[in-house]
Structures are given as C-alpha cells and as structure tokens.
Chains A and B, each alone.
Chain A
Amino acid sequence: MMDALSDDGSDVNQDDTQEDVMTPAELIAKLEEAWLNEKFSPELQENKSEVVECVMEQLSHMEENLQRVKKGDAKASIHRMEIDRIRFVLSSYLRSRLQKIEKFFPHILEREKSRGEGAPSLLSPEEFAFAKEYYANTETYLKAVALKRMPPNLQTVDMLKAVPEPCLDSFVFLRVKERQENILVEPEADDQREYVVDLEEGSQHLMRYRTIAPLVSSGAVQLI
C-alpha cells in the first residue's frame, strides 16, 4: 500500500507527455487560473482541453491507487479530500463554460464557422457538440411552441440578432502577473483624453475587458 501512494509524485511526472513539462502542482495552478478567468471574463475563453485532460488523468490515476488502499487509512482520506477539491474546481470550470455557451451560442458557433484553417478552436469537441445541439434544440422548441403557428414569412428567427452578444466593454478586476507597459485607456467622456498606464507586476486594476483581453489569453494578467 505504501508504494501505491508514495511513488505518485515522481511517477506522474514521467507520464507527462506534454511538450512543456509541468509538475502536477503547476498543472493544478493552471486549472485554477483558467477557472477564475472563465468565471470573470464576459466572453468565452479558449478551451484548455490539454489541462482538463491532464487533470482528469491525474485524478483517475490517484483514484486507482486509492482503490488498493485498505479502509480507514489516514493518508487515503487526505488524498480523497484533495481529489474532491480538484474535482470541484474542474467541474465549476467546465460548468461556467457551458453556461456561457448557453448564453451566447449563436455567436460562438458563428465564430467557429469563420475560424481559419488551423486556428485554435474556442470549443473542445464535446463543447462544440453541445453548442450545436443546444442551437438545434432551441430552434426546434421555438418552432414547435410558437413559430409554426405564425404566417409563413415570419417563421424564422435570426438567432444571431435575437441573442445578445457578449459585452466586451464590460469592466473586469485583474491582477498583473507580468509587467505591461503603455496600455491605452480610452476616455469615458468627451472632455477626457485617452492616456496610457503601465501595469506593474502584482498590482490590481479595474478596467475594460476589451483593453486587456489579449493579456488574459496570454496569461500576463489574471482576472479576479
């Protein structure tokens, strides 16, 4: 039993076939970053399928090991608590993505359509299937309860116009992880002028999402 649990740390590291080698602890930190960014950003972020898959792998690996442990083991209960915590973050992350997909589905699908060959997709394959199905179900449902009773020329609804777009001009709270210079702040009123700010490492700010959106996806700032 001892071996089952104690060789975990080293063993998993070698398993990691990702291009950049990440320790499991770094992986969990990545997941938490993605979780908070997804929670606070007005639009859907790029999918982090590799992170999600790696975390899942870690979890099932750990669970397998725990199966071999006899009941009432002190270490096992601590491992289980950790697994529960990670699983909570993971499902909260995935759930907040699904919520956004439900909220903005026509726009997200439209972006998928216009995505260039080879450009990374916003959605994981599963999320893409979900979005498509959600679209189809909503359409079928609206047709069944209302639209089919309308005059023929009014039986379609343009989902792209009917469902509001994410508002990129929303404000967000953020913490700076890598120093940024000369971030342009657009004026709020006509009598103001635009100006630039430097974002120092570790400082916290309240500003428009649009201004710093690229920094969120590059990981230079963390939404809080």
Chain B
Amino acid sequence: MDASEVEFLAEKETVTIIPNFSLDKIYLIGGDLGPFNPSLPVDVPVWLALNLKQRQKCRIVPPAWMDVEKLEEIRDLERKEDTFTPVPSPYYMELTKLLLNYASDNIPKADEIRTLVKDIWDTRIAKLRLSADSFISQLEAHAKLDNLTLMEINTIRTFLLDSLNCMYKLRSNLQPGSSKGQFKDF
C-alpha cells in the first residue's frame, strides 16, 4: 500500500472545526454533516476540514492529544516500555502531518508537536524492527501486534512479508518429498 493511501484513510477521521459561514445540513452518501453556523463547533471529516481551512472558511480545533504535555508523556512511556504502548490515535502520524501542514496557525506549539511525534514514531519503528528480527530468527508463526498503526505496518510490510515468503520456501526444502514431482515438464 502506498503511504498516500494510508493518508487517504486517515482523512476519514473526524475533527472539530469552527466555521465562519452558515450552511444547512449536508446529506453525504457516507453520512450527514452540519448544520454549519458561524462560531459554533461542528465535527467533520479531516478531508473536508482541510478543504474548508484552505479556503479560509474555518478554524480547526486540534484533537485533544495534539498537545505538548500529553505527547511528552506518551513519548516517555514509549521509550520506557519494551512493548508498543497505546497511541492516541490510530492515525497519529498522518493527522499530525496533515494538520500541521495545512493548519499550523490553529495549533499551539506546532514545531514542538512535530518533533515529539517524530520522536514517538522513531522509537516505535526501532521497536518494530527489533520485533521483526526476532520474529524471523525465532521462526515464529504468529505475532500479536496490538497498538501498531497502519502507517507503521506499511513501512515494513513488503520487506517483512517477502522475507517471510522466502524463508518459508527455504524451510520447505528441509522436508524432502514436499516438493511436488521432481522435474516439471512444461
């Protein structure tokens, strides 16, 4: 999967905006939105929030977790624990990037948040590689991966799955007779 497709999925998450226009309820195929009234907070999907923001039709309220203190706590816990700790949002990386890129003026301490999220990401990716290596070297058949996000899985997906496939084939070499027929005539 391409990273931008993961971002596409993240854009379905909802975020609160404060519009500066009024509009009746909209009946989208995927659900109803609005009504929109100036200065009244309303929940919309991120894709719409960013579009409205770019047209200067709203202010985005950052999600509660997008806060320096909370993120510092998460980062410290992530560094302390050996396992993956719960993330504030299954799309924390994507949302951080999207909101900071298009609405940084609505988010206090944007630069600090960017650095913190990057730190959390790096710590988690290092853990991910460590577990991938032990998964391979222990010849595990099953792993539980709670709290891993789609974007994290995605960075290692092809490499890990291709490697596991190769390993599977090399391993089936160990069982003679498992290969079908000695030679194939085409």
Contacts and interface: CB of A to CB of B under 8 A. Distances in A.
Direct interface between A and B, CB < 8 A: yes
A81 B171 contact: no
Given A170-B165, A224-B150, A24 B145 contact: no
Interface string A115-128: 00000000000000
Interface residues of A, number: 53
Interface stretch (B27-35, B74-82, B91-99): B27-35
Given A6-B24, A188-B140, A25 B30 contact: yes
B32 A171 contact: no
A205 B171 CA distance: 22
A205 B29 contact: no
A25 B145 contact: no
Interface residues of B, number: 43
Contacts of B164: 170-171
Most buried by B among A167, A173, A202: A173
Contacts of A79: 26, 28
Interface string A184-224: 01111110100001000011111110000000000000001
Contacts of B21: 74
Contacts, number: 107
A162 B185 CA distance: 10
Interface stretch (A45-53, A82-90, A103-111, A133-141): A82-90
B186 A162 contact: yes
Interface in B92-130: none
A188 B141 contact: yes
Interface string B131-165: 00001000111111111101001000100110011
B48 interface: yes
A205 B145 contact: yes
B157 A173 contact: yes
Contact of B165 (A88, A167, A187): A167
A62 B29 CA distance: 8
